[in-house]
Amino acid sequence: YSQPSSAKQWHLGMFEIGKPLGKGKFGHVYLAKERVTGFVCALKVLHKDELVSGKVEKLVRREIEIQSHLAHPNILRLFGHFHDQKRVFLILEFAGKGELYKHLRREQRFPEWKASQYIAQMVAALKYLHKKHVMHRDIKPENILVGIHGEIKISDFGWSVHAPNNRRKTMCGTLDYLPPEMIVGQGTYSEKIDLWSLGVLTYEFLCGEAPFEDTQTMTHRRIARGDYKVPSYVSAEAKDLIQRLLVLDPEKRISLVEIEQHPWILKHCKAGSGGRERAPATKVR
């Protein structure tokens, strides 16, 4: 009899390992095929001694705990995990068109219709996450993958936590996406930090660089002051949405539901498929 997939006891012998797909923060990712079903996935291999030395085993446990309970078309699935003496293996959904930031760098910047559809998909994923009181906390192009149909998938939940939270985020990688409430004040924050990051992401999709990109010190200062400029080639509607997301006071940022009704999103949403034309939302107080 075949065990229900979630209770499946996975082991390495069940997979035929293919080409390396890339290097994550703490391990390599390989294309893999489950021998019995032929199911193609991405196998993320983490070395236990590196996790211990990097004090990240808690982050990995949390990534597994959170991501394995999520099922949404714009969130990369974690189907299961297993480990052997030396390594931990994450069985992840394979995103057929790879890493979004590579597409962004290659195209320099996205046309408004593409950026708008990507942001609409991010909003759908964040609505799903926030409903489960999960905030991602590390939204940036490097953590977004592209599926075979061009849909985007948030990945790398290593930094996600259950809201609210005031754990200092030991900085590794870019400061560009850090919200002001994590720079000034005592650093308590809520899911609203994902709204700030969405504003930074929208800007970067349309302009090819982040709004506060500068030297480390200047980036900190410019974020704390909300000091950025939107280039003139950005449409008025797109600029309006960016301005409603990059608001210093977390409580004053536009909500996910309001973003769905924003002119810049409605103007480009795909009729018929995923982005179904929405009946005017009745405001539920």
Ligand X SMILES: CC(=O)N[C@H]1CCN(c2c(Cl)cnc3[nH]c(-c4cn(C)nc4C)nc23)C1
Q: Find the angle CA(79)-CA(80)-CA(86) to the nearest 5 degrees.
A: 140
> Binding ligand X by CB under 6 A: which of 15, 24, 91, 154?
24
| CB of 18 or CB of 226, closer to ligand X | 18
**Inter-CA distances, 78 with 30, 42, 43, 70, 279, Å:** 14, 10, 10, 8, 33
The beta strand positions in the chain, using DSSP E, are: 15-23, 27-34, 40-47, 78-83, 87-92, 134-135, 144-146, 152-154, 161-162
> Binding ligand X by CB under 6 A: which of 5, 11, 16, 22?
22
> Binding ligand X by CB under 6 A: which of 18, 54, 73, 98?
98
Q: Find the angle CA(212)-CA(216)-CA(220) to the nearest 5 degrees.
A: 55
Q: Is 45 in the site for ligand X (CB under 6 A)?
A: no
Chain center to CA of 254: 19
> Binding ligand X by CB under 6 A: which of 15, 26, 94, 205?
94
What DSSP character marks residue 21?
E
Position 103: which residue type?
A: H
> Which of 269, 163, 124, 247 shows the shortest CA–CA distance to 197?
247
Contacting range for ligand X; rule: CB under 6 A; set: 3-11, 21-29, 201-209, 239-247: 21-29
| CB of 93 or CB of 191, closer to ligand X | 93
- Residues in 101-120 at the binding interface with ligand X, rule: CB under 6 A: none
Is there a cis peptide before residue 164, judged by omega within 30 degrees of 0?
A: yes
| CB of 92 or CB of 129, closer to ligand X | 92
Contacting range for ligand X; rule: CB under 6 A; set: 22-30, 106-114, 262-270, 275-283: 22-30
Contacting range for ligand X; rule: CB under 6 A; set: 94-102, 124-132, 215-223, 258-266: 94-102
Q: Is 46 in the site for ligand X (CB under 6 A)?
A: no
Q: Which residues pair with 99 in a beta bridge?
A: 145
- Residues in 56-85 at the binding interface with ligand X, rule: CB under 6 A: none
Q: SS3 breakdown of the chain: % helix, strand, coil, rounded to 5? A: 40, 20, 45
Contacting range for ligand X; rule: CB under 6 A; set: 20-28, 49-57, 110-118, 234-242: 20-28
Q: How far is the CB of 222 from ligand X (least distance, A)?
A: 27
Contact 193, 248 (CB under 8 A): no
- Residues in 133-162 at the binding interface with ligand X, rule: CB under 6 A: 145, 155-156
> Is 138 known to be catalytic?
yes
Q: Is 43 in the site for ligand X (CB under 6 A)?
A: no
Tokens 């754990």, residue located: 167
Using CB under 6 A as the binding criterion, the count of chain residues that bind ligand X stands at 15
Q: How far is the CB of 212 from ligand X (least distance, A)?
A: 23
Catalytic sites, residue numbers: 138
The binding site for ligand X (CB under 6 A) comprises 21-22, 24, 29, 42, 44, 92, 94-95, 97-99, 145, 155-156
